[in-house]
Every structure is written in C-alpha cells, then in structure tokens.
Structure 1
Amino acid sequence: MATPAFDDDPHEDSDYRGPATVVIRGTEIDVEVEMRGYREPIDGIFRWMGRIDPNETLSQIVGDLARMPAVIRTPQGTRDGFVGDVDFWDRYRIIGKSTPPFHVATDLDDAEGAADPE
C-alpha cells in the first residue's frame, strides 16, 4: 500500500476559504478565494494574503500587471487590497494590511475554539 507523500492538509492553515467578490476597475467579479493573515511582529500591522482560484474575467482585466488596487468582499467583511502576481496555475495573489475581509479571533477563548467550561 502506498504511503502519501504529505500527511498534512495544505489548506489547514487558511483563515478563510470560500466565496468572495473582487471589485476591480469598477467590475464586480465573483470568485473563490483562500486567505490567511498574521500580525507582523516588528511593526505590529496585521497583514493578510491569499490566492484567487482561476477566473477568466479577472485574467482579462488584470492580465500580467504585477499589482492592481481592488476591493475584496466576503460574507464576513469588505476591505481594500491589491490583486496581482499570477502563479503557474492562473491564481492571482491578493494582499492587504490591517483588518482583513474575514473573521479573525480577537480573544484567547475564540482563538482556541472553545470557552472555559467553568
């Protein structure tokens, strides 16, 4: 029986996976995204990033540009960010800083996934 090359799920560290709308050059594009974020220890700014699943409309608008301003909207929030840097699988990178367009745990109980039973 073959042993899998990787035991871990490459998506387990994602903070948000699901539907989103990217507004770019006045066009709203429904997409699927995967995003995560972290607080930068040196400057304390929360930075978020991810990838957009391949989307023909997005590819036509962004093309090969390295970076283009956009609005990223999920069911959890809307934030300004940037789209660009397409990879080999035609997925565009999305980046932003400060409050992300997805839920982030803001207290220890929320971050651990369960409140103290007492």
Structure 2
Amino acid sequence: MTHHEAGAEYTGPARIQKDGYAIEAEVALRGAHQPIDGVFHWYGRIDAAADTSGFRSGDRVAVGTDHGIADARLSDLDPWGRFRITGTGRPPF
C-alpha cells in the first residue's frame, strides 16, 4: 500500500469510467490525511477540454492512472466546465 503525506498531488492523464462508458482526460488531483476520521481524502478536477457529456453530477466513477485505480464521485460542474472528483482511501496517484 502506498503511503501519502499531507499535500500529495497528481496532475496528468487519467481514465474515468462508469457503466461501460470511459474517457481519457487530464486531471489535477490532491489529497491529505484527515486526522479527525483517520482517512485519506482526495479530490480534484477533470480538465474542461475532456468530453464529459456522458457524466452527471453525483455519478460514481472509477478513476485510473498509471499509479492505480480508485472509486470516486463526481460532484459540481464549475463555471469553467470542469467536474469535481472526490474520493476517500487509497487514491489513484
């Protein structure tokens, strides 16, 4: 298991998929260990250039990078057209 220090981050290519639908996209992810619940929380955004038309806010997705794969949830779409990704536990980076 990979250990992550507070402030760990990843910027680069990722595969985001749900129910047989997948895209390749650039992502910016970061995270930190939260001492209150003892869990690593990670989050980030999918680049606006990605075709995310097959996704909706609230979707459960799998996010994969060259470093691993992790379950996540998509949340708000910001004014620049980027979905927010959130996850807990071992991140995909």
Calculate the TM-score normalised by the size of structure 1. Answer: 0.68
Query: Aligned partners of 1:101, 1:56: CA distance in 2, in Å?
Result: 19
| Structure whose CA Rg is larger | 1
Q: Does 1:85 align with 2:85?
A: no
| Superposition map of 1:4-15 within 5 A | 15=9
| Superposition map of 1:51-90 within 5 A | 51-55=45-49, 57-58=51-52, 60-62=53-55, 65-90=56-81
Please name the residue that 1:42 is paired with. Answer: 36
Q: Highest relative contact order (Cα 8 Å, sep 6+), 1 or 2?
A: 2
Query: Aligned partners of 1:32, 1:77: CA distance in 2, in Å?
Result: 15
> CA deviation digits over 1:34-93, x for unaligned, max 9?
0001111111110000000014531x212xx43110000001100111113100100000
Query: Aligned partners of 2:35, 2:41: CA distance in 1, in Å?
Result: 11
Structure (1/2) with the larger strand percentage: 2
For structure 2, the residue ranges without an aligned partner over 5 or more in a row are 1-6
Question: CA RMSD for the aligned pairs?
Answer: 1.5
Displacement of 1:30 in angstroms is 0.3
Please name the residue that 1:10 is paired with. Answer: none
CA spacing shift, 1:73–1:46, aligned 2, 3 Å = same
Q: Which runs of 4+ in 1 moved over 3 A?
A: none
Query: Aligned partners of 1:46, 1:25: CA distance in 2, in Å?
Result: 26
Structure (1/2) with the larger helix percentage: 1
- Identical aligned residues as a percent: 38
